[in-house]
Amino acid sequence: MRDLAAIAVFAALVACVPLLTASGVVLNFTMMALYACLLAQAWNILGGFGGQFSFGHALFFGTGAYVQAIAQLQGLNPWLALPLALAASGAVGVLVGALSFRYGLKGSYFALVTLAFAEVFRIVALSVPFTGAGVGLMVPLRASAANMQFASRAGYLWLVLAMVVVALLATAWLRHSRFGAYLQAVRDNEDAARAVGVDPFRVKLAAIALSAALMGAGGAFYVQVFQYIDPGIAYGPGTSVEALVAAIVGGMGTLWGPVLGALALHLLGDFTRNLFGQLPGINMVIYGAVLVLIMMFMPRGVAGFAIPARWRRRWPGGRRG
């Protein structure tokens, strides 16, 4: 109940932002921070709770983005295209998981396999006509809520907030459900979990399907906001890095870690860009240095540093320090 109450308070506070200010800067920052939260939370389900580190989550992001764009170009309403995008990304997750987990790939091997799949999909997207090949796809502008295209950033903010809330609810469920306990048991000791009757293959397969579907939601949202997608954006490493870094910096295997990580990284990115924008490259050097310091002195992430240990011990599902 505490998790549900906290999620409800978080949703209510963020939903009020467009009602308190019309500043495009504030609304855009909040929207993009929530977008980063969605990607990080999607990665956290598989990487944080499942212990399966993926370097290629852009694979699921790009699949969701392309399905969302192609469906609209074929005349389907974006609201109806969204569940198709989630289903397609989840199906790709099942495919990758079935091929990887069936042969016991984990750790660095699984990370490299996901990276390789993302690169294969990028090359395919560059070669086939229905993805627009190297030119990419542009979604026609038909601004209306019925077409999931809003006149202001407020509409997009509420849309991505709804997606983040779904991701938070899924994560809260993992923290307290039997399936979540199975997933964390597999993460901590796969052989011991198998010995007590848990099927690691099925558990990890379900986790990657859920993680992939949420990542696909991020891809679909990206298409609606920017109305354009190409293979480099869809399957490039930047999206994968953004998702995993935010989750790691915030705190893997926790409910609020990815949220804190995404917010911290966006604050840091905007601050360094605005402060050193006239000095090309300096902002990225400082950004990278701060990330290294965070990893050195906050090994449990921002959530592990900011939340007292006695509180963390009361929360099932979090990483133990």
CA-based end-to-end distance of the chain: 24
What does the pLDDT read at residue 279? 66
pLDDT averaged over the chain? Answer: 89
**315 vs 182, higher pLDDT:** 182
Q: Please give the structure tokens belonging to residue 290.
A: 């701060």
Look up residue 84 and give its amino acid. Answer: L
pLDDT at 114 over 90: yes
Q: How far is Cα 261 from Cα 246, in angstroms, rounded to an integer?
A: 5
What does the pLDDT read at residue 304? 67
Instruction: Return the axis-axis angle of helices 237-250 and 282-297, rounded to nearest 10°.
Output: 40
Question: Tell me: the pLDDT tens digits for 128-153?
Answer: 999 999 899 999 988 899 999 998 89
Question: Tell me: the pLDDT tens digits for 187-216?
Answer: 999 999 999 999 999 999 999 999 999 999
Question: Tell me: the pLDDT tens digits for 220-275?
Answer: 999 999 999 999 999 999 999 999 999 998 989 999 999 999 998 888 888 877 77
Contact status, residue 61 vs residue 212, Cβ threshold 8 Å = no
pLDDT at 41 over 90: yes
> Residue 114: helix, strand or coil by DSSP?
helix
What does the pLDDT read at residue 317? 45
| Alpha-carbon distances, residue 146 vs 78, 111, 160, 188 (angstroms) | 8, 39, 16, 45
What does the pLDDT read at residue 300? 74
Instruction: Return the axis-axis angle of helices 24-44 and 200-226, rounded to nearest 10°.
Output: 160
| Alpha-carbon distances, residue 208 vs 3, 44, 100 (angstroms) | 23, 10, 11
Considering only 71-75, 87-91, 264-268, which range has the smallest mean pLDDT?
264-268
Q: How far is Cα 246 from Cα 244, in angstroms, rounded to an integer?
A: 6
Please report which confidence band the pLDDT of residue 306 belongs to, taking 50, 70 and 90 as the band edges: low
What does the pLDDT read at residue 320? 40
Nearest Cα residue to 242 out of 281, 220, 215, 213: 215
What does the pLDDT read at residue 277? 65
pLDDT at 309 over 70: no
Its CATH class, for the domain covering 2-312, is: mainly alpha
Residue 10: CB atoms within 10 Å: 16
What does the pLDDT read at residue 283? 65
Question: Tell me: the pLDDT tens digits for 16-34?
Answer: 999 999 999 999 999 999 9
Name 12's Cβ contacts closer than 8 Å, sequence gap at least 6: none
What does the pLDDT read at residue 312? 47
Look up residue 136 and give its amino acid. Answer: G
43 CB burial (10 A radius; 0-12, 13-18, 19+):
buried
Instruction: Return the axis-axis angle of helices 78-101 and 108-127, rounded to nearest 10°.
Output: 130
What does the pLDDT read at residue 270? 83
| Alpha-carbon distances, residue 117 vs 63, 80, 86, 111, 272 (angstroms) | 12, 27, 18, 10, 33
Q: Where are the domains of the chain?
A: 2-312
